[in-house]
């Protein structure tokens, strides 16, 4: 089930929830951007979370766009 959320559980039990729809509203410009982020969400959620938490989503999508 898609909850529109990526959750990270830290070793101390703290849970961080990332609202994927909010990230899309902020950074997605094309359907290709959405496809790229969706791929990460479903196939490498840890990499997706790292992008979001480090503030690298825009730079990542810019890099992907240049390669297309």
pLDDT tens digits, one per residue of 1-37: 467 899 989 899 999 999 999 999 999 999 999 999 9
Say yes or no to pLDDT of 41 above 60. Answer: yes
Contact by Cβ (8 Å): 28, 35: no
pLDDT at 2 (0 to 100):
67
pLDDT class for 67, splitting at 50, 70, 90? confident
For residue 6, list its beta bridge partners.
18
pLDDT at 66 (0 to 100):
87
Chain position carrying tokens 């791929």:
39
pTM for this entry = 0.85
pLDDT at 13 (0 to 100):
94
């Amino acid at each position: 089930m898609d909850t529109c959320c990526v959750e990270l559980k830290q070793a101390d039990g703290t849970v961080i929830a990332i609202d994927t729809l909010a990230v899309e509203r902020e950074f997605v410009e094309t359907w290709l951007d959405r496809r790229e982020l969706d791929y990460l969400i479903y196939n490498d959620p840890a990499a997706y979370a790292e992008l979001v938490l480090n503030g690298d989503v825009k730079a990542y999508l810019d890099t992907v766009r240049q390669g297309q």
